[in-house]
Structure formats: structure tokens, C-alpha cells
Amino acid sequence: MIAGSNLEKIVNSGNFVVTGELGPPKSSDITQLKHHAEEMKDHVDAYNITDNQTAIVRTSSIACGSTLVQMGLEPIIQITVRDRNRICIQADVLGAHALGIKNILCLSGDHQSFGNEPGSKGVYDIDSMQLLKGLQEMRDENRFMGGDEVEAPISYYLGAVSNPFADPFEYRVDRLEKKINAGASFIQTQCIFDLDRFEKWMELVRERGLHKKAAIMGGVTPIKSLGAARYMKNNVSGITIPDALIDRLKGAEKKKEEGLKICIETIKRLQEIEGVAGVHIMAIAWEEIVPEIVERSGLYPRPQV
């Protein structure tokens, strides 16, 4: 056990993990976020809290994470390298630890040009790999990135993201391995719509035994409408949606139910794939559907460990 988080315990227990995602609002009123957290609290093992997702200014991930801790729930705070240099990131990690946050997910972050402050200066002092390695050393070797000593022990469960759908495809498994070597204990993937490509990727992952070194959680997103699918296909960086899936939605009478079905089928298939340790459900702007997805995927009740 590294940090003793609920997420880590469930991963270690060998149960299929379920995590959800909460997007902080563009205001400091986090009532809705708390409401969504309550709504799915019996259905997910932990909640990702996004860090100024798509480079849009929102309440900070750590502030929302701290609120969840106070509610007795378990956050996974996301940290991108876009907005903070190594001084600020390390300070925030110390702060997050002091506030009882036990899971950290490291990522590059969408470029600032996508967001609502496109004229901002991107930081990118370190990259996501260096972030992972730096946080691992802070935890395991009591050392800040600059070499100074961390004066009291600190611990957290470290994760990273992986996008099997980005290019160059052959490099994606190398990159996953690199992230695991840099300290990632769990991996959440980009939304899976192209299961064939995902399975091909998992095959490569298994060939190298990477699924035994880190818990690989497949990312899923329920699609609410045809428009949402098209939007994601064309506008969200790093996501690929096969035309067949768009056609299936097009042909369906009840788009919402069809989108839900696709999501549930994906989760069921993920449970069959050797080496997939769990699912990460990103139902942004459709949070209330998470309990139904989890139940219909046969993942309810959640294990108590």
C-alpha cells in the first residue's frame, strides 16, 4: 500500500474499479458539483476532479477535492503542467496532501488556445512525464525536483493518462511504459469509442506485461445526442469516433438511450478484456446518469474494502 486511498485499495483487491468525473464550475458556487458527488457516491470508488479542463477557468481542482474529502468522499485531483511551474505544482501537491487528498492524476492539459483565455502564457515548465517522476521522487525519496529535502513524509497514489487513439499509434504503448516507469500506479485512458483499436492497444500492453505494473482503466463517455458525438469527433482534441458509431446513433430512434447503450456495451466489453482493471466514466454535463450506467453494466454494488 502506498497512500491507502480507497482507489488504491480497490485496485489492490482485484475488483473492477469504477471512477467518475466531476468538472468544477465557472464560478465559485460548487453546490451542483457537491450534488453530483452525492448522487453517484454509492456507484463510484473515487472521483476525478478536472483541472481547468479544456483550458477554461474554473474553481480549482484542489479546492473541490478538499470539499469532497470533507464530505467523506474520495477525489482524484488532476494536475496539468499548462498553468503552473514546478514551484507552484509542488506547493499545491503539499497543500493537497495537507487537505487529505490521496490521489493525483498527472497530465499535460489541453493547450491554452482552446480555452477562454487564449491570450494567456502557457507554462509547460515541466512535461507530464517529468511531473510524474518529480512527484514520485517527492514521495519516495523525500526530494523536491530541485533536490531540496521534503521536510516531512508525503504520500499519494499517482496516476497518469494514456491516449491509445493518438498518433503515432506504435509509440503509444512505449509512452505508457515510460509513464509507468516514471511513477504511474494507475492509468486512465482517453474516451474509448473505437474498441477495436483499444483492444489492439491492450494486446501490446499485455505483451509487455504493463497491465501487471499499473491498473489500466478504460475511459468511457455516454453520448447524449448526435450533435454531441459530432462535436466530440470534430472539436475535442485526442478523441476519435468511428463513423459506424455516428451512423448507429443516426439510425436510432431514441438517441439518448442508444448513446447509453453504447456506453454500457463498451463497459461490459472492457470487463472482458484481460488486463483492464476498471472503468473511468466521464459523463460531463450528464452526471446524473452515472448510477444507471454502473448498475446496468453489472458493477453495482461497489465493493467495500
Partner 1 sequence: MIIAERKPLEEIAAMAAPYKKICVLGCNTCVGVCMAGGEKEAAETASLLRIHRNKENQEGEVDVFSLERQCEFEFIDEVLERLKSYDLIISLACGVGVQTMVEHVPSLRVVPGLNTTSMGYPTEQGVWSERCLGCGDCVLHLTMGVCPITRCAKTLLNGPCGGSAEGLCEVGEDIPCAWQLIHDRLSSFSRLNDLNEIQPPKDWSTSHHGGPRTTVREDVRIDRGE
Contacts with partner 1, 189-218, as mask; x by CB under 8 A:
-x----------------------------
Q: Which residues pair with 47 in a beta bridge?
A: 20, 75
Beta carbons of 47 and 22 less than 8 angstroms apart: yes
Only segment of 64-72, 127-135, 264-272, 295-303 that touches partner 1 (CB under 8 A): 127-135
> 209: burial class by Cβ within 10 Å (0-12, 13-18, 19+)?
exposed
Rounded CA gap, 154 and 144, in Å?
A: 11
129 binds partner 1 (CB under 8 A): yes
Among 167, 196, 253, 272, binds partner 1 (CB under 8 A): 167
- Residue 55 or 260: the one with the smaller Cβ distance to partner 1 is 55
CB of 29: closest distance to partner 1 in angstroms? 31
Name the packing angle between helices 61-70 and 86-98 (round to 10°). Answer: 10
- Residue 5 or 80: the one with the smaller Cβ distance to partner 1 is 80
Contacts with partner 1, 74-113, as mask; x by CB under 8 A:
-------xx---x--------------------xx-xx-x
- Residue 10 or 217: the one with the smaller Cβ distance to partner 1 is 217
**SS3 for 77?**
strand
Rounded CA gap, 205 and 275, in Å?
A: 8
Only segment of 126-134, 242-250, 286-294, 295-303 that touches partner 1 (CB under 8 A): 126-134
Rounded CA gap, 141 and 75, in Å?
A: 24
Rounded CA gap, 44 and 279, in Å?
A: 10
Among 133, 139, 255, 280, binds partner 1 (CB under 8 A): 133
Contacts with partner 1, 234-253, as mask; x by CB under 8 A:
---xx-x-------------
173 binds partner 1 (CB under 8 A): no
Beta carbons of 218 and 163 less than 8 angstroms apart: no
Alpha-carbon Rg for the chain in angstroms:
18
Q: What is the 3-state secondary structure (H, E, C) of 260-282?
A: HHHHHHHHHHHHHCCCEEEEEEC
Cell digits of residue 252: 436510432
**Contact positions vs partner 1 (CB under 8 A):** 81-82, 86, 107-108, 110-111, 113-114, 122, 124-130, 133-134, 145, 161-163, 166-168, 171, 174-175, 177-178, 181-182, 190, 237-238, 240
